[in-house]
Amino acid sequence: MRVSALTRRLAVIFMGLALVFLYAPILTNFVFSLNSDRFPTIPLGGFTLEWYRLILADALVIDAFKNTIKIALIVAPIATAMGFAAAYADYRFNFIGKRLVLIFALMPPLIPLVVIGLAMLAYLSRIGLSGTLPAIVVSHIVLTSPFAMAIIRLRFSQIDGDLEFAAQNLGASNWRAFWEVIIPATKTSILAAFLLCMAVSFDEYAVTWFVGGLEETSSVRILSFLQSAVSPRINAIGSITFITSITLILGAQILVLRRLTRGNS
Amino acid sequence: MGQMSKDMTSSLSTRRLSRLAYGGIWSLPLPLWLAAFFLGPMILLIWLSFWDVKNFLLTPDFQLENWQKMLTAPYFWAAYLRTFVIAISAAALVSLIALPCSLAISFFLSVRARMVMLGLFVVPFFTSYLVRVYSWQIYLTENGIVMKLLAAIGIDSGSLLNTPLALMIGLVTLTLPLVIVIQSISMLSLDKTLIDAAYNLGCGPRRVLFATVLPAVRPGIVLGALFAFIFSFGDFVTATYLGGGKFTTMSILIADTVKSGQQWPRAAVVALMMIATLLITALASIAYAYRRT
């Protein structure tokens, strides 16, 4: 758009301020996790690793982190595989009601988490699963697979639809064409989806809190800490969760963006 | 001859069968999983709203008492109205804040800077909202960072926690990334010749923005606001930890009812009212977004 340099500059500055606003709570969390004062405010106290030492000595926190990792490592492969299958089916086949299935598959992240939590809790306690780790796994797959499908579908939309058929015309079977054409073309997006699913599973607290009963993940542990009192221990756990999810998301983004820019050139 | 054609049809049907199996392997898993563990729970939720609670035990039933109780309770409608007003204010505020950001990203940055900026805006969306809300508590609380900063320039603010401002800060934190991404996608797919045409017809920059760009990206703006509404309407963390329990929303009603006792059927009524509201709002917004002018 042809607008004055001043307007451009103002808009870009405003955008920068919005970024500062979004990152401020993340940055202060790191600062206060290393600050010796019990009450987090300015001016800062001294440097300490005390809060990290406290949470690492807390059996509840350690168990919660173990659960989180276990759950994410089961959820991510299953959700990615199912998201991939749905994205591939949408790219490759035509069937009646395909659009409806797609919209249905994108629904879970749009329903309020408390509502899904209640519905899942009632349903899973009917089949005797509520209050167990499998209950958390089952619901996390519902919540993460739409993201996997979306991110892999994005990649399929750049692949020439005739490539696979060309391979088949050259004598390759369905499966051979799949392994030699589809998998190499989509493997980075599959990895990106995997990382994204892990990140979403890692940070989910509402549904987990409802269906998990006494089983806690690190996010639910944070929720319990929040319900009791302000404590720099929350900052310490918070820093660990931030570092983990930021690493996963940046990884996913780099994979997707590299593909996109290479796809354009 | 007859034998040959029989062979051909049988090999044809096995091929068709294997193609069908191949298609089924890919197209069925996710829909089946979601039918079992998403649609199933949602249907049970509807049924649950008609159940009875006898001697603290959930009993399958078909009675309208839960609906009657909730829909005639003043505290339910107070919570409903409060949640709706909070969500609609947040949607409007976030859309206004996102607009200059999306314009900057879409029109004033190089391709490379644009990608980096979009990436930076997306990252916080996938980081723990719980911890970020806790951080805002630290900023806004009595003797917190904001109060001390304001005091340093001579403003006596008091605690900003548990105010509508605190709620809005939380909800902007939650939804801004999503709205910026949606608005930017619609701006980036805008036909640039449209803008050139407007300039050639002698429009000034302001007129181009308000008469050409904004109407053309209306779907993106409306959908962005819709997503902000959906997420703000359903969130229970913001009102709990930045509103200090002063703002009982629909989600808090559900969480409290479920966590404190057996009245799941009444919580189901609240949940279904939320879904109905979101559905109507979504359909109305989409109809408005793609309306021909």
> Is any Cβ of chain B less than 8 angstroms from the Cβ of A101?
yes
- The pLDDT score that the predictor gives to residue B7 is 59
| Residue B59: C-alpha distances to residues A88, A174, A224, B39, B164 (Å) | 43, 51, 31, 21, 40
Predicted ipTM? 0.92
Predicted confidence (pLDDT) per residue in B72-93, tens digit: 999 999 999 999 999 999 999 9
Mean pLDDT of B238-248: 90
Helix (H, G, I), strand (E, B) or coil at A231: coil
Q: Of the ranges B117-131, B208-222, B226-240, which one carries the lowest mean pLDDT score?
A: B208-222
CB contact under 8 A, A234 and B134: yes
Closest in B119, B141, B237 to A253, CB measured: B119
Helix axes B40-48, B264-289, angle to 10 degrees: 120
- Subunit contact B236:A242, Cβ cutoff 8 A: no
Q: How far is B11 from chain A (nearest CA, A)?
A: 15
Lowest mean pLDDT among B63-77, B126-140, B154-168, B273-287: B154-168
Question: B137 vs A230: CB contact, 8 Å cut-off?
Answer: yes
Calculate the alpha carbon distances from B6 to A213, B10, B12, B13 in Å: 61, 6, 10, 11
Query: Does residue B3 register a pLDDT over 60?
Result: no
Residue A49 dihedral angles phi and psi, to the nearest 5°? -110, 10
Q: Within chain A, where are the H helices? A: 5-33, 50-56, 59-92, 98-106, 113-126, 133-156, 163-169, 174-177, 183-203, 206-212, 218-228, 232-264
Q: What is the CATH class of B72-289?
A: mainly alpha
Complete domains list, chain A, with CATH:
49-264 (1.10.3720.10)
* Residue B1: per-residue pLDDT: 46
pLDDT at A264: 47
Per-residue pLDDT of chain A (265 residues; tens, 9 = 90+): 667 888 889 999 999 999 999 999 999 999 999 998 888 888 888 899 999 999 999 999 999 999 999 999 999 999 999 999 999 999 988 888 888 888 999 999 999 999 999 999 999 999 999 999 999 999 999 999 999 999 999 999 888 878 788 887 887 888 888 888 899 999 999 999 999 999 999 999 999 999 998 999 999 999 999 988 778 999 999 999 999 999 999 999 998 877 666 654 3
pLDDT of residue B21: 87
Res A190: pLDDT: 96
pLDDT band of residue B204 (cuts 50, 70, 90) is: confident
Instruction: Kindly list the domain boundaries of chain B, sorted by start residue.
Output: 2-48, 72-289
Question: pLDDT grade, residue B287 (50/70/90)?
Answer: very high
In chain A, what residues touch B241 (CB-CB under 8 Å)? 226
CA–CA gap between residue A258 and residue A168 (Å, rounded): 29
pTM score of the predicted model: 0.92
In chain B, residues with a C-beta closer than 8 Å to the C-beta of A22 are: 121, 124, 173, 176-177
B contacts of A83 (beta carbons < 8 Å): 30
Q: What average pLDDT does range B171-183 have in this prediction?
A: 97
Distance from CA of B175 to the nearest CA of A (A): 10
Does residue A43 have a cis bond before it (omega within 30 degrees)?
yes
Structure confidence at residue B179 (pLDDT): 97
Gap between the Cα atoms of A109 and B163, Å rounded: 28
Question: Alpha-carbon distance B268 to B75, whole Å?
Answer: 16
Instruction: Give me the residues of A, 182-241, that contact B with CB < 8 A.
Output: 196, 199-200, 203, 205-206, 210, 219, 222-223, 226, 230, 234-235, 237-238, 241
User: Taking 60 as the threshold, does the pLDDT of residue B57 lie above it?
Assistant: yes
How far apart, in whole angstroms, are the C-alpha atoms of residue A42 and residue A20? 19
A127 touches chain B (CB under 8 A): no
Mean pLDDT confidence for B142-158: 86
Q: Do A118 and B271 touch (CB under 8 A)?
A: yes
- First-to-final CA distance of chain B: 66
pLDDT over 90 percentage in chain B: 65
Chain A closest-CA separation from residue B68 CA (Å) = 20
**How close A48 gets to chain B, by Cα (Å)?**
18
Over 60: is that where the pLDDT of B246 sits? yes
Give the SS3 label for residue B190: coil
pLDDT of residue B86: 97
